[in-house]
Each structure stands twice: as structure tokens, then as C-alpha cells.
Structure 1
């Protein structure tokens, strides 16, 4: 609480407190009477807050403004996890083994083959709200392609593709590969890291032991035809006489999207369009997977265009 100004006892009381007989004498008094000191601040009475304002818990950085719900803000939040350049489609041909030149160890590898990857279209933020490269792979007879897709391929000036997917990129620099140009196997350099996405093998209806790794029931001491049973599915009183949502039970196993991250490119064959990666890849043999730069590894320094890898002109569109 601010201090009060000191009282001056030499000052006259207000005129309305003086007797009526002395009021006419006030103009005759000298004007050099001391004036009360004026404080340099405006004294206010208030309550000190015990809970000062704090930054919102919804901020992604301490002291930063709250996130907005605009599309631009959403793209900015995903910028760090969006690759700089496009990926490619590949066919899983099988597995082999290679010796790692850095460690000298023999490691299992998967052979992936790129089959006529061509850029079909570009997606921009002005028209579509995001940046992406639409890539087509494989071949398909024109009589088995719908008319809208035939027009789409004709606009790009490419042959009908069997598979068409989109690869999101961070900005406009990711659209450096032009429409109609092919993405070769040398787009991925040896020693770089990639993420592989595919659909895992479908294993049909499976029990709890195969699907979730349950240990099953005891194999002796009176167990009858329940050796591979999962046991009780829910309690009575404790869980409300029901089976809680999300309970791991028997059901359809596999046939779902799987992403294997941080696979190292061991070998690249430009002529045959083969990329060999270290480790396993989801999906059956001859299955189609998506190959793109790994998000949890530093982005590769290049290439960003086909001219940087010595491919361009007639070779890019052949």
C-alpha cells in the first residue's frame, strides 16, 4: 500500500468550515501560504494477486503464443516431420544378405525394384492446401482404366500407371521433379536412411497366443481343451460386468498398414532399378511399398533434381 502524504497543520481549514464572519477576510491573506505537497504518483488501493498470470498450457513453447486452427499453422507444425523431397514406389522382390563394409558383419537385406516411377501431378498450397508430388508406377492397359484417370494421365502426358500415390513435401522446392519425369533408383544414395511403408501379410483369424503372444493355460493339472485359450475376458464387479474396450482378443491378424523406419540403403543398381535396404520390409513378395527419406534421421543433402544425378532430358521421360 503506498504511503500517505504528510499532513501540514499550518494550512487553513476549508472555507465552508470557517465562521461566516471571517470568510470576507480570506482574500486579504497573503497568497504565499504553503501549498500541500503533490505526490509524484497516483495512490491507488488494490489487492495484491497471489496467482500471477501464467502462459497457456496449450502453447508448444514456453511463452509462445497459442496455436491457431488455421491450415497455415497446421502445415507449420508438420514442417519438421515432412520430407524435403518426394519418394518412390517399389516392388518387394525378396531377401538376400550383404556384408556391411563399415562393420564387416553379414546382415539380412531386402531387394526392392522401382518399376517406371513417373511424376503424374503436383499439389500446391494455393490450389490444394499442401505441397505433394503424385507418383505413378507400373503399367496398365488403357481399357482397364476409368475415363477420369485416362484424362488425368493424358494431361500429364504419361502412360496409364497401375499404382498412383502422393508423397507430401515440405515446400515448393520439393516439386523440383517436373511432371512427366521418371524417378530412377539413383534417387536414393548408398548410406542414406529411408522409411518403408506397406501393407503387412494377412494371416486371417488368429487366436490370442498367435496374435498377441499370450502364454495360454497350463498344459496339465486338469486342463481340458483350454491349452491355447486366452482366459477370462472381463471382470464382474470391478470392471462393471462388461468387457473393457480395447481388450486384446482373438480376431483378424495382419493386413494392415505397417511402417518400418530407419532402414539403411546398402546398394543401388541404376540400370536394373534395384535398391537394397538393410532389414525387413512389410508385405508379401511382389508387394508394393512406399519408399521415402527417413523422418528420424538427418535429411540427405541431395539430390533434389534429376540433373544432380546425371538424369535429364530424354532419359527422364523415357
Structure 2
């Protein structure tokens, strides 16, 4: 824990000693070698190793060596196929375009068929672009098949999916409001939200107020799930815990950010 003197010194750097009530702008960030201003690194700056498209099969349980039950979600992890490689020279960034779930050629447009034929891959139902580093992209080629064995048992992953749609829901179901008492003068408004703001000032509903509305059908990310088992032959991932979305839904699995 920093000493009081160091905390005062850090605070004084932003204050004009002669006029302590005036604001002094903080010093500008020094540019890095690439020309960008230096700043703390966030998760958006990190290029994950690979992000696979998977199909959620459902939940079950398995037993460990001690006989304890482990709830797991079974994911069909591919195979994914590399449809296109994007590089800094041609596109300004590095990424892999992956395809998942083979479909009939009859339902695909000719421009899309040309892309699949160029990659020598059967038409795929889903396409997704995975941002990776140039070093990782060098290990993949167009048309390459990527299976579940890119992950390993014990690895931590992030799973991105679409939550189940619940339609229009009230505040009790959507925001977990408490139901009013069934006595002491309450009549019909047992599940109503109550007051939504003062009438005189500001005279309007404040933005972001929790009210009834559409619930679910949103992108949800569950982080740091453990890969319990990998079945390379059947392309299955067994992930500890629940995964957003309904069975047969599309999810994306990527290595967790440490």
C-alpha cells in the first residue's frame, strides 16, 4: 500500500501549487514505436489463438476419479474450415474466415459458391471471422480443416452464444423486482413496477430505467469455463457448467484471456 506521502505527491502532479483551484491538464501520453499512444492493454487488443464455431448439443454430467458428478455442456466443435486468410498487406489486419456446418450447393448463391470452390471446401452454412496474430495465422492454410483438438483438457475458454428469447416480459421476470404484498391496500398492481419518476422535475422518464420489455435473444459471453474433456474423433468438447442458448444453437469458443 503506498505511503501517504506518495499519495500526496501523485495528487500534487495534477494541481497547480500557486493556484490550487485551477485545473491542470494531465501530460499527454508518449507515443510508442508504432506511433500509437501508450495505454493499458485491454481484452480488445488481444488476438486470441483461434475462435471456433460450435453447435451446442446439450447438457449432461460425467464423473471424475473420486466419483463426483460434474455438470458439463457438450459442444460439437467443428470441423471448421479456413475459407479465407486476411493479412495486413491486403486487408489491413490479420484474421481467418472460418466456415461451419456443411450445406447443399442448391441453396447457395453463385458468388458464394465461387468462394467455397476457390478454397476447395464444400459450402458452409455459417461463416465467422476470427482475429488472430500474424504468427498464429502463419500456421493455417486456406482449405485447412480445424477440429476440436486445438483445445486441450483443463484449458480455460470463453463461450459466446445467443440467449434464449423470452418475448415481452414484465419487471418481475425481466429484472427480478419484488412482488408487492397481497394485503394492506394493494389491489391489482401486484407485479407493476410502481413509480417511474417524478412528474414536475425532470418531467420525463430517465434513460436506462428498468421496465417491462423484450427479454433474451441477446449475445451473452460466459468466461473462464474449464474444458473437462476433448473427444478428437467425434469433434466434441465437454465444458464445465452451462453455456448460453438453446440446444442446437450456434456458439463460439475461444481461449480465455488470462
Note the 1:99-118 alignment, pairs <5 A: 99-101=63-65, 105-118=68-81
The 1:79–1:115 alpha-carbon spacing in structure 2 relative to 1, beyond 3 Å, is closer
Higher RCO structure, 1 or 2 (CA under 8 Å, sep 6+): 2
What is the Cα deviation at residue 93 of structure 1? 0.6
Given candidates 26, 39, 45, the residue that maps to 1:56 is: 26
Find the residue that maps to 1:130 and give its secondary structure.
coil
Post-superposition Cα deviations, 1:132-158, rounded to whole Å, max 9, x if no partner, equal 111101111112112221111111111
Post-superposition Cα deviations, 1:176-210, rounded to whole Å, max 9, x if no partner, equal 12111111111110010111001110000000010
- Higher strand proportion, which one? 2
The 1:256–1:69 alpha-carbon spacing in structure 2 relative to 1, beyond 3 Å, is farther
What is the Cα deviation at residue 80 of structure 1? 7.6
The 1:187–1:223 alpha-carbon spacing in structure 2 relative to 1, beyond 3 Å, is same
Give structure 1 regions of 4+ aligned residues with deviation exceeding 6 angstroms.
67-70
- Residue 61 of structure 2 aligns with which residue? 97
Q: Does 1:155 align with 2:125?
A: no
Given candidates 217, 221, 240, the residue that maps to 1:255 is: 217
Question: Which runs of 5 or more residues in structure 2 are unaligned?
Answer: 1-16
CA RMSD of aligned residues (A): 2.7
Note the 1:152-301 alignment, pairs <5 A: 152-238=115-201, 240-295=202-257, 297=258
Partner Cα distance (2:189, 2:53) in 1 = 46
Larger radius of gyration: 1
Question: Which runs of 5 or more residues in structure 1 are unaligned?
Answer: 1-48, 60-64, 298-318
**Contact in 2 for aligned 1:217/1:231 (Cα 8 Å):** no
TM-score between the two structures when normalised by the length of structure 2: 0.83
Partner Cα distance (1:183, 1:58) in 2 = 45
